[in-house]
Chains A and B, each alone.
Chain A
Amino acid sequence: MSEVSMSVNGRTARGVVEGRTMLVDFLREGLGLTGTHVGCDTTQCGACVVHVNGLPMKSCTMLALQCEGADVTTIEGLAANGAPLHPMQAAFREHHALQCGYCTSGMVMMAVDIARRIGEPDEATIREELKGNICRCTGYHHIVEAIAAGAKAMALPQT
């Protein structure tokens, strides 16, 4: 067992983990942040995407110990409890971009990164960038619409 310390959603998080503990298990079981999901556990589905030092990564395929000192943001960190939703979360709700919701936190975390990197991507670009996020119930139509709308909202000057 080893000690690990990182910043999660702006707060210092410490824990004692096994060497083999994946980041997603530390977040869910160690910190109780169950918004990040495990779908396939084989690095394909993207339900576990979180941001590590500002970049989206699959938290089922990195060790908690590799995040020592890192700055991690999960879906819970996008908007404070009770505060208005992040523009991308709001766009997913507005455009009915979820059915069961299992993939949604990973989708939103990837979508926020897409918007930050590309600005306002076209449909083909959104679909290409979403290659690593799989939804097994809605199909992607509304998700793609939501990301376009969310990216547009993120590009507006913040009031």
Chain B
Amino acid sequence: MLLAGGQTLLRDMKHGRHSPTSLVDITGVVPRQIERRGDAMSIGAGVTHTEVASSATLRRHLPVLADLVGHIGDPAVRNRGTLGGALAANEPAGDYPAACLALGAAIHTTGRTIAASEFFVGDRRTALESGEIVIGATFPITERAGYVKFLNPAARYAMVGVFAAVTGEGRPRVAVTGARTNGAFRWWEVESALATAFTPRGLNDARLSLEGLIEDLFADAAYRAHLAGVLARRAVALAAGPAPGVMVLSHGSRSRTEVVHA
């Protein structure tokens, strides 16, 4: 198997989820640039989360992505984890998959370019074929983007996260992470409701169907279904408002409008 920053794979190997007979560390050979290419930001697969979060050029052109990545895991994990590893791992509560889906990112591999909507195909699964390596991704630049996540009270990953964005062609996209066992997905019903006006007013009844939702000791399916609706309204309000960006909420969040900037 291929090893990037190892923050998912090495942990999963300890859990017995993978037992590869060999590991090849590819961090020395995958691209590590962050640069603007036309109307998109291009990020190399080997760039760590710390480097993405602190990139001056990304903060200038697509600050929501820098902020989102600045809230993955914790500082020590961000010093190891990489874009390529996070995309290939496709964890069900991953932040990057939601960003890729809502921004309409393109994922570049050693053989082809894959639209985000076709890259993430199920629980920890991607469209990558054996031996195919992620070399980077491009994210369309937009100012109208908001990501709101509600933290798991123990491990602090997204119990549910919703990313809402309007990119160049004017089409709203809404992606949800942490909610379904199959990983991040586009919320088509909410996107349809936003087609006429990009405002949370039309989302008062937004609620996920219970089918396929993650249930654990922190939240049952009904809780997650409701929470996704709340977060979708907040993400759209954030994206449409004067200060788009990232909002991180948890049990005990004091303010309805608590916004955390990395």
Contacts and interface: CB of A to CB of B under 8 A. Distances in A.
B2 to A, nearest CB: 13
B23 A19 contact: yes
B76 interface: yes
A58 B77 contact: yes
B76 A132 contact: yes
Given A41-B14, A132-B73, A132-B75, A58 B260 contact: no
A90 to B, nearest CB: 23
A133 B74 CA distance: 9
Contacts of B75: 56, 110, 113-114, 129, 131-132
A57 interface: yes
A46 B79 contact: no
A52 B50 CA distance: 14
B80 A110 contact: no
Contacts of B42: none
A106 B36 CA distance: 37
B7 A43 contact: yes
B123 interface: no
Q: Tell which of B3, B11, B260 has the most Cβ of chain A within 10 Å.
A: B11
Interface string A47-85: 001001001111001110110000000000000000000
B80 A57 contact: yes
A65 to B, nearest CB: 8
B172 interface: no
Interface in A2-25: 19-20, 22
Contacts of A52: 79
A56 B79 contact: yes
A128 interface: yes
Listed from nearest, the 9 A-B pairs whose CB atoms lie closest are: A132-B74, A131-B74, A55-B79, A56-B76, A58-B76, A61-B10, A43-B11, A132-B76, A57-B76
Given A56-B79, A110-B75, A129-B75, 11 more contacts: A43-B11, A46-B76, A57-B76, A58-B80, A62-B6, A63-B6, A63-B23, A114-B75, A132-B74, A132-B75, A132-B76
Interface of B: 3, 6-7, 10-11, 13-15, 23, 25, 27, 50, 73-77, 79-80, 155-156, 260
Interface of A: 19-20, 22, 41-44, 46, 49, 52, 55-58, 61-63, 65-66, 110, 113-114, 128-129, 131-133
28 contacts: A19-B23, A20-B13, A22-B10, A42-B11, A42-B15, A43-B7, A43-B10, A43-B73, A43-B77, A52-B79, A55-B79, A56-B76, A58-B76, A58-B80, A61-B10, A61-B11, A61-B77, A62-B6, A62-B10, A63-B3, A63-B6, A63-B10, A128-B260, A131-B73, A131-B156, A132-B75, A132-B76, A133-B74
